[in-house]
Structure 1
Amino acid sequence: MSKLKHEAELVAHALKVGAVYAKKRGVGEFDTVDSQKDKITYLYRLLVHDKLIQPLAKGQETEPLMKHKLALWMSRQLPEGHALLQ
């Protein structure tokens, strides 16, 4: 797994976009008291359930790997030339 250049920023952006996606889909929304780890896990599992990202292998669902998957997903959603892709 090679780390993306702006991975932390991509994960933060993915959480924002994911919160809107989850709310529009009607499956819940993030609360201000939810920890970042809970948000990452929830969004990762939602995207896997909706078949928008490929799941990690069993036993490999760690926070760093889920963050990486979310960053990859977000990098594919951004338009070409976006500042986070530079």
Structure 2
Amino acid sequence: MKHGKHDAQLLKLALEIGVGYAKKRGFADFDKGISPKDKVECIYRLLVQDKLIQPLATDKEDGPNMKHKLILWIHRQLPEEHPLKE
């Protein structure tokens, strides 16, 4: 799994957009007490369920791979001229 120089910022953006998407789908707001790991997993599973991203193989479903999937998802959503697409 190749790491880009903007991965941390892309993940943060993916989580922000993912939480907004979850709210629009009727999910309750994520508490401040929820861990980032759990937030990543919840958003990943919601996007898979809604067929917005391809699911990982069952044996590959772990934190780093889920984060990578979210980074790829948000990267594809950004316009070509976005600074995080360098």
Q: Deviations over 1:7-54 (max 9, x none)?
A: 111111000001110001102321111110010000000000000000
Q: Gapped runs of 5+ residues in structure 2?
A: none
Equivalent positions of 1:64-79 (< 5 A) are: 64-79=64-79
Structure 1 stretches of 4+ with a deviation exceeding 6 A read none
If the length of structure 2 is used for normalisation, what is the TM-score? Answer: 0.94
- Percent identical: 57
- What is the correspondence of 1:29-44 to structure 2 with a 5 Å cutoff? 29-44=29-44
The alpha carbon displacement at 1:81 in A equals 1.1
Secondary structure at the aligned position of 1:59 is classed as helix
* Secondary structure class of the residue paired with 1:38: helix
Please list the CA deviations of residues 43-75 of structure 1 after superposition, one character each: whole Å capped at 9, or x if unmatched: 000000000000000121110000000000000
C-alpha distance in 1, partners of 2:71/2:38? 16
1:1-80 alignment to 2 at 5 Å?
A: 1-80=1-80
How many residue pairs get matched? 86
- Please tell me the root mean square deviation across aligned C-alpha atoms, in Å: 1.0
Structure 1 regions of 5+ residues with no counterpart? none
Q: Secondary structure at the match of 1:31?
A: coil
CA distance in 1, matches of 2:84, 2:24: 25
2:73 aligned partner, one-letter code: W
